[in-house]
Amino acid sequence: MSGANNGRPFVVRKFVRFSHCDPAGIIFYPQYFMLAHDCKEDWFREGVRYPFEQMITADRRGFPIVKLDAQFMRPSRLGEELSFEVGVRAVGATSLKLTYRCVCGDEERMRMHSVLVMTDLDKGTPLQIPDWLRERFASFHVGEHP
Amino acid sequence: MSGANNGRPFVVRKFVRFSHCDPAGIIFYPQYFMLAHDCKEDWFREGVRYPFEQMITADRRGFPIVKLDAQFMRPSRLGEELSFEVGVRAVGATSLKLTYRCVCGDEERMRMHSVLVMTDLDKGTPLQIPDWLRERFASFHVGEHP
Amino acid sequence: MSGANNGRPFVVRKFVRFSHCDPAGIIFYPQYFMLAHDCKEDWFREGVRYPFEQMITADRRGFPIVKLDAQFMRPSRLGEELSFEVGVRAVGATSLKLTYRCVCGDEERMRMHSVLVMTDLDKGTPLQIPDWLRERFASFHVGEHP
Amino acid sequence: MSGANNGRPFVVRKFVRFSHCDPAGIIFYPQYFMLAHDCKEDWFREGVRYPFEQMITADRRGFPIVKLDAQFMRPSRLGEELSFEVGVRAVGATSLKLTYRCVCGDEERMRMHSVLVMTDLDKGTPLQIPDWLRERFASFHVGEHP
């Protein structure tokens, strides 16, 4: 259950940009899901080494979301630098469970759990996650209860 | 627990727009939260009759989100007309619990529960929900388990 | 050069939404292009009667943009109701020239000219605009210098 | 008319992300303006060394856009790495003229000229660009006709 990343999450740093912020001067909450998606995209490129242009454009596979829950602890403000983490909670036959944490300094700002299903984008049907991909996911396994 | 809307949710119709869709031709999931926010904004304007320009710009109050959970049953495609519902599960001293459902024809596409807290936008502190607003919310009360 | 709409532009009304606004409380300017695109989409559906799900999903045709210029006269604020107009300046063999105006009350907020080219979305090559579509565009012809 | 950057534009690299792409699999054109804005934000932080959180949040100054023109030469696709350049064409008493170029490999994808006005965000009135800021802009001067 470890490997290249020794069971640690993938981490990427993101600024709170002008385009993320609302008239109250803080992140407009749907932008957290845009940022989490960017983080997942960075993880597939740099961590899993299966970039979206290969997976989606060439192989016509995707990971649409089935469900999620999220908590928003404190607001994030224009110009703050956020540390976004994504880790694997579990890998099923066709499903992938992820945990995201967004932290600024010592302060947790957002936490999300999501469940995705690997899907044939042309047929819209679930796909078995191949072993080579399952192994790459496993090296970012952070356990069920982070 | 009823009133102007007799305990039914507020309903608004939205097209799946080009700008909502991803390279797979379906709604990019963070756009569901953008749409749900638009639906809430329409509800405040037309249902609750406390439009955002009054609440946010003039009164400097808001309802930031504290947590949410969502399920995505089936994908929604470019040009489909969605029926978005928002109803009230509970109103606390400072908090508001909402349920959203997104339906296309007979098919449920998305369901979300969220918890919001009324907040002083300048101080960032919780505010008591005033009685007149509590009464307006109550007329859209749909119960704890829709 | 006239027809169903007698040479008047297509008009649609849009609220300035929370999601459009920036930390300065006014529309974040790229959102004007999102709104103009929504306006064009509404025009294709209701005015031209060639909705995007038919044109893009079924017929695999599109109108990507080649160039545009825009002026921003005054800022637009949360909750304002904008009148968005789209009219045709010229229709070429494969190209379409449009003018957009965005007005709030008596005050012009934004004006844009754009040039689009009808394109085969699978091959990426220009397409002749068919006569039936050319005729529908012509009824929204507003002249070269609005 | 040169300085720290010797009259070269500021350059930042951006991936074409899933969230930028439309059902045709290419950048949805309003996203170019989002990307150009991010590029300007990076330039203010790293090049001009006057980050937005200082300028907007603390000093309550901004640079709203007055006009722009843009050309879109070729589409950009999911996963491509774009080189975004921003340079200064001219600095007036209160105005700033910028040129943006977006290039992928040897291929130019987008070019934009914009005119901004330095503005007091609370009063909405133009502000004289202070000398220290004028000097920092000047080191990214690329001439009137790039």
Per-residue pLDDT of chain D (146 residues; tens, 9 = 90+): 345 677 899 999 999 999 999 988 899 999 999 999 999 999 999 999 999 999 999 999 999 999 999 999 999 999 999 999 999 999 999 999 999 999 999 999 999 999 999 999 999 999 999 999 999 999 999 987 65
User: Rounded CA gap, C88 and C91, in Å?
Assistant: 7
Q: Which residues of A touch C30 (CB under 8 A)?
A: 19
* Rounded Cα gap, residues C115 and D73, in angstroms: 12
Question: C90-136 pLDDT, tens per residue?
Answer: 999 999 999 999 999 999 999 999 999 999 999 999 999 999 999 99
Average pLDDT over residues B61-79: 97
pLDDT of residue B23: 87
pLDDT beyond 70 at A2:
no
Label residue D119 left, alpha or beta by phi (over 0 means left) and psi (-120 to 50 means alpha): beta
In Å, how far are A49, A64, A91 from A67, measured between CA atoms? 25, 9, 15
Burial of A108 (0-12, 13-18, 19+ CB in 10 A): middle
> Å from C3 to nearest chain D CA?
31
Find the closest chain A residue to C28 by CA distance. Answer: A19
- Report whether pLDDT(C2) > 50: no
Task: List the single best residue of D22, D29, D80 to mutate versus B (max B Cβ within 10 A).
Answer: D22
- Residue in this structure with the two tokens 């459009």, named with its chain if needed: C20
**Cα separation, D129 vs B125, whole angstroms:** 37
The answer to whether the Cβ–Cβ distance between C23 and A19 falls below 8 Å is no
pLDDT at C143: 83
A34-81 per-position pLDDT tens digit: 999 999 999 999 999 999 999 999 999 999 999 999 999 999 999 999
- Mean model confidence pLDDT for chain B: 94
**Tens-digit pLDDT profile for residues C60-98:** 999 999 999 999 999 999 999 999 999 999 999 999 999
